[in-house]
Structure 1
Amino acid sequence: MNGRFRNGKFDPSALTRRSFIASTVAGGAALALSGRTAFAQSGDTLKVGFISPRTGPLAGFGQTDGYVLDLARKALASGFQAGGKTYQVEIIDQDTQSDPSRAGQLARDLINNQGIDLMLAVSTPETINPVSDACEAAGVPCLSTVMPWEAWYFGRGAKPGEPSPFKWTYHFGFGVGEFHKTYVSQWNLIETNKKVGVMYPNDADGNAIRANLAPLLAKDGFTIVDPGAYETGTTDFSAQIALFKREGVEIFSSFPIPPDFAAFWRQAAQQGLTRQIKIAQVAKTGLFPSDIEALGDLGFNISSAAYWHKAFPYKSSLTGVSGTELADGYETESGKQWTQQLGASLSLLDAGFEALKAATDAKSKDAVAKALSTLKTTTIAGAVDFTAGPVANVSPGPIIGTQWVKAPEGSKFPLDYVVTENATDPNVPVGARLVSYNG
């Protein structure tokens, strides 16, 4: 057994791009020469589509996907067993370029021209919703993660209290309930006047959060100061900043894309708002080190929330790697700091292949959809359970309180990403105490 395996499990820290390509080529040659392979016996290939934003304004969500896909392909190189057969697997990944229209077009191409058996879609409504809609229309099973489930479910036409209109599409991960629980837990760690200035964009995320999260926070005694929805691409936030200053808000909460938050936060600093902020809680932006580093000193002590962290105590069911192994392997391979998207994208692959394994026939779209509807498994990001969701087609998941702090002197990277609370998954260890944005 070579050095890329440890205790029978794949070791990502030993995988370089060159060795991955070499081993893949060698493996393919060996299969071509062998007439006794399981592939030859079954004659089947499973095709899995994987759509994410790798470039454009949402590129932070896709930055680590190449590494994760390399791990998955390596784990699947010798075949995948499901329903008593061994299949060769082809993962066809596509970049939406952060464009919802392109996401839908890519999905239709994978469905109509590539003949995929399962679609996997990850990160933000701009990616997931158009892909899910294309799959629902075509009768292709689709699994997704990394967006509030309410924006996926209700944002696509489902009605509260009515049966699910979806047969083919399934989504797992955090929702408004998890954000509410986490934010209350996080915000109670520091004494404030409980006045919250919110910046919700006019998009699927922002509208779902305004309709569902803000009322829950108000019931918990927080005063919500909402200047109204803003349009993505706004460059002047003076009116919102003036309102927040006038109302004396000490907590700021938003769900912006990175360019919008960068513009707002720099203007907030120039106009004196940041001096009164004790907690700056930023979602969607604020998830990745590159976005925070771009803010310079204004990025230190921004609060965030993580749908995955390397401290999560779970292993990947597909590759066998732990959270620390995944993060360390990525840093070694890329030279960049790990991000929470590593575990999220790998968890999607974990869950997707568990569904294929559980299906009575992995080549039957009906069978795979049925397997998704009853899927109950544990991924590197924690539990996925479609038998106990708040609505059909949804399995809720954790999101935990975190904060970006200045890394200790001598650290490889300027920022450290620490866990400050764990209300939605007590198995995740808390690593640091939340500090005020202004220290």
Structure 2
Amino acid sequence: MSPHDDKNIPLDQATRRRILGATGAAGLTLLVPGFARAQSGDTLKVGFISPRTGPLGSFGEGDGYVLDLVRKALAPGLKIGGKTYKVELLDRDTQSDPARASQLAKALINNDKIDLMLTTSTPEVVNPVSDACEAAGVPCLATVMPWEAWYFGRGAKPGQPSPFKWTYLFSFGVANFVKSYVSQWNAIPNNKKVAALLPNDADGNAIRAAMLPELTKAGFTIVDGGPYETGTTDFTAQIAKFKAEKCEILMTFPIPPDFATFWRQAAQQGLAKTMKVVQTAKTGLFASTIEVLGPLGFNISVSAYWHKDFPYKSAATGVTGHQLADGFEKVSGKQWNQQLGASLSLLDAGIAALKASSNPKDKAAVAKSLASLQTTTMMGQLDFTKGPVANVSATPMIGAQWVKAPSGSKFKYDYVLTENAGDASVPVSRKVVPFS
């Protein structure tokens, strides 16, 4: 049809054709707002997978608040290389189910076509998401799980090159735990006999293989209760063994419901009253998992991967630790928790990687930027060029303890820092005290 044939079609259609013909893509942009935006690839899609419900739900308790802060900060767009990108954060709840975590990751990869995956909180979440990204060739950044359980638990071999090209983790490891634990335990008189209650899962097996020998080298005698299955309801055998060996230190890595079961039974059977140090990890990290223990929660020790007293700010939002904690308490009515800073650190580090890449829409370029990422988050300094192995940047653990909240507080417990061997920049607020 020639231009002269416009007389044979309705006027509005003929007019539209002339305008489009004269203006081309520019005219199309004016007539259909957002069309060019959708076609030009200037929207970055970032997946965020964490446990918001289920047995691990305490980890994701503050994720909604953190995501809202970052979405507001990114509302004007993210400027990278002279271009401003819209950023969509697509958050998903694993419901504490590893199989669901994998399914969610694959859906974000295949259906939503994400440019970067972020994931956090325990091997049950992080490992299946990381595996899905590695298989699909999608850059993935993760945090909050022992790096040995992530690296070796997914098939890497000691002394061999990393098998991972797309997946990266910044988190604590055995050396970070040991430094913090020894610093805390040596501050309290005890017989150096450690009751180790470790589950038969990725965390427990990694800790048993890597940490127990290091604690032995540090002068502690380890009494291993043996690998138990998640969901165990009777810990009588382990408790009897720990009592017979006269252990005065408890070290454990269970999910919160399992620790509550064990610790109540330990109190009923007389073990709790003999403990000088009760050191928990994976459980006891948050007020919600301590409060269910009642008085049995006071003076439990935990190593913190983040605390509101950490002296670092969020690059994306500009908030300090105290601003983050206070804001969450005001909005939710709940006590702040350390995952707030970790989740915000994950988002900050992910944004830093996108900005450092030559092209944030190029997955290989983003993965390359992760491999050499050096930045400061609320958890401290990250440097993927230092190791301890490829694909990993180790973060410190700082000793902390749950104590009675000061008079006038609306919460029962206060979470205080008791040592800083892992990062001297972090202030210590009080000395650790014996559990009993």
- The verdict on a shared fold, with TM-score over 0.5 as the criterion, is yes
Offset at 1:176?
0.4
- Cα distance in 1 for partners of 2:54, 2:38 equals 41
Residue matched to 1:197: 195
- Cα distance in 1 for partners of 2:103, 2:38 equals 33
- Cα distance in 1 for partners of 2:313, 2:406 equals 28
**Contact 1:377–1:385, Cα closer than 8 Å, also in 2:** yes
- Cα distance in 1 for partners of 2:85, 2:376 equals 23
Q: 1:121 aligns with which of 116, 119, 122?
A: 119
**Contact 2:41–2:361, Cα closer than 8 Å, also in 1:** no
Q: Following superposition of structure 1 onto structure 2, how do residues 27-426 of structure 1 map, counting pairs within 5 Å?
A: 44-426=42-424
* 1:142 to 1:43, Cα distance in 2 relative to 1, 3 A: closer
Offset at 1:83?
2.2
Offset at 1:38?
11
* 1:272 to 1:36, Cα distance in 2 relative to 1, 3 A: closer
**Contact 1:39–1:88, Cα closer than 8 Å, also in 2:** no
Structure 1 gaps, min length 5: 1-31
- Cα distance in 2 for partners of 1:119, 1:129 equals 13
Residue matched to 2:24: none
- Cα distance in 2 for partners of 1:38, 1:413 equals 52
Offset at 1:139?
0.1
**Contact 1:42–1:85, Cα closer than 8 Å, also in 2:** no
- Cα distance in 2 for partners of 1:134, 1:385 equals 24
**Contact 1:39–1:87, Cα closer than 8 Å, also in 2:** no
Size of the alignment, in residue pairs? 407
Structure 2 gaps, min length 5: 1-29
SS in 2 for 1:155: coil
SS in 2 for 1:189: coil
* 1:237 to 1:120, Cα distance in 2 relative to 1, 3 A: same
Offset at 1:314?
0.3
Q: Which has the larger radius of gyration?
A: 2
SS in 2 for 1:61: coil
- Cα distance in 2 for partners of 1:148, 1:35 equals 47
AA of the residue aligned to 1:321: V
Offset at 1:138?
0.2
- Cα distance in 1 for partners of 2:408, 2:318 equals 31
SS in 2 for 1:348: helix
**Contact 1:46–1:90, Cα closer than 8 Å, also in 2:** yes
- Cα distance in 2 for partners of 1:173, 1:315 equals 18
SS in 1 for 2:309: coil
**Contact 2:49–2:120, Cα closer than 8 Å, also in 1:** yes
* 1:218 to 1:82, Cα distance in 2 relative to 1, 3 A: same
SS in 1 for 2:211: helix
- Cα distance in 2 for partners of 1:209, 1:175 equals 9
**Contact 2:249–2:278, Cα closer than 8 Å, also in 1:** yes
* 1:120 to 1:91, Cα distance in 2 relative to 1, 3 A: same
**Contact 1:83–1:362, Cα closer than 8 Å, also in 2:** no
**Contact 2:44–2:114, Cα closer than 8 Å, also in 1:** yes
Residue matched to 2:13: none
Offset at 1:35?
6.7
Q: Deviations over 1:67-93 (max 9, x none)?
A: 000001000001001122100010000
- Cα distance in 2 for partners of 1:310, 1:395 equals 21
* 1:41 to 1:78, Cα distance in 2 relative to 1, 3 A: farther
- Cα distance in 2 for partners of 1:41, 1:312 equals 43
Query: Which 4+ runs in 1 deviate beyond 4 A?
Result: 32-43
SS in 2 for 1:395: strand
AA of the residue aligned to 2:310: F
AA of the residue aligned to 1:274: A
Offset at 1:61?
0.4
Residue matched to 1:18: none
State the identity as a percent.
Answer: 71
Q: What is the aligned-residue RMSD (CA, Å)?
A: 1.7
Report the TM-score when normalising by structure 1: 0.91
AA of the residue aligned to 1:383: Q
- Cα distance in 2 for partners of 1:34, 1:410 equals 58
**Contact 1:144–1:171, Cα closer than 8 Å, also in 2:** yes
